[in-house]
Amino acid sequence: MEKHACIYVAGHRGLAGSAILRKLQSEGYTNLVYRTSSELDLRNQTEVDAFFQSSSIDYVFLAAAKVGGITANNEYPADFIRDNLFIQTNVIDAAYKYNVKKLLFLGSTCIYPKHAPQPIKEEALLTGALEATNEPYAIAKIAGLKMCESYNRQYGTRFIAAMPTNLYGKNDNFDLETSHVLPALMRKCHEAKVNGDANVEIWGTGEPRREFMYADDLADACVFLMNEYDGTDMVNIGTGRDLSIRELAEALKAVTGFDGEFVFNTSKPDGTFRKRTDVTRLHSLGWQAKTTLNEGLQTTYDWYTSHAAQPNKGAASL
């Protein structure tokens, strides 16, 4: 990407998008374009087409999405599949129609089968049934990456798809009703410490294992792929390392200073037992994650405590 190129970051206020925007700014890219969801509704094709037509965009980072944890996915499945299909379809099609040089679409490793062999290779896609608790979201993301593949094949576009593992970091969603496990546990531990509570409840058994990546590492990988990768195969983005939810809770206990006990509510779902990514393809291209889990947790907690009065509700992800 040329330093003066017009680069559109879709979803610039969300976790991934804000990290990508910070990375581009730090690398000296000077012509960055972004809009809030109130300024541009990516679910509206007319608005998206008008925006692309008037903006002369060269590159697109498509990080905009409706996202959430198990609770949100269970309660709003129609919203998750509808909104994400609209966002992806409108932006990818506009990128083709208005001659964008290259687009990077961010999916999620939840696209893979629930019982995929570990670590999960990119080739595992569509080889088995999905995790039921986030199937609508996963199907939308699969459609997005297949849309990129199909436009490349039919129209000769340069659209690439990256599948990040579980992300955390600055601008994460800490709303207990809609957030993912790491920010939810971080908030619970912090509030328990402040309130002097003896216990923090954790859904499930604590045994499932998850891989977590600091969002600024994701951003670094995305800019790397945009500049260095011209293949047509999707690429996993992750650390290749995982830990149990119980181990994550203990790490958060140390970071937040909570000195109570964890109570595991086994009546609640665990979700997929394990989904560690195989990052061989990404490593072979010359990129690896740099931030350790403890470093990332501390930086995220520092950000959260300085913004706790007005926690991010996640609405900006659109």
User: Which residues does the annotation place in the binding site for NADP(+)?
Assistant: 11-17, 106-109, 141, 164-167, 180
Who contacts 318 (Cβ-Cβ below 8 Å, separation ≥6)?
11, 37, 41, 42, 43, 64, 65, 66, 83, 87
Summarize the annotated binding site as residue ranges. 11-17, 106-109, 141, 164-167, 180, 188, 203, 210, 270
Q: Which of 29, 137, 229, 301 is catalytic?
A: 137
| 137 catalytic per annotation | yes
CA atoms within 13 Å, Cβ hemisphere of 101: 13
State whether residue 73 is helix, strand or coil.
helix
- The DSSP code sequence of 118-184 is SSBPGGGTTSSPPPGGGHHHHHHHHHHHHHHHHHHHHH---EEEEEE-EEESTT----TTT--HHHH
Summarize the annotated binding site for substrate as residue ranges. 188, 203, 210, 270
Helix (H) or strand (E) holding 212: strand 212-214
Q: Tally Cβ neighbours within 10 Å of residue 288.
A: 13
Who contacts 9 (Cβ-Cβ below 8 Å, separation ≥6)?
17, 20, 21, 24, 32, 33, 34, 61, 63
Catalytic residue set: 137
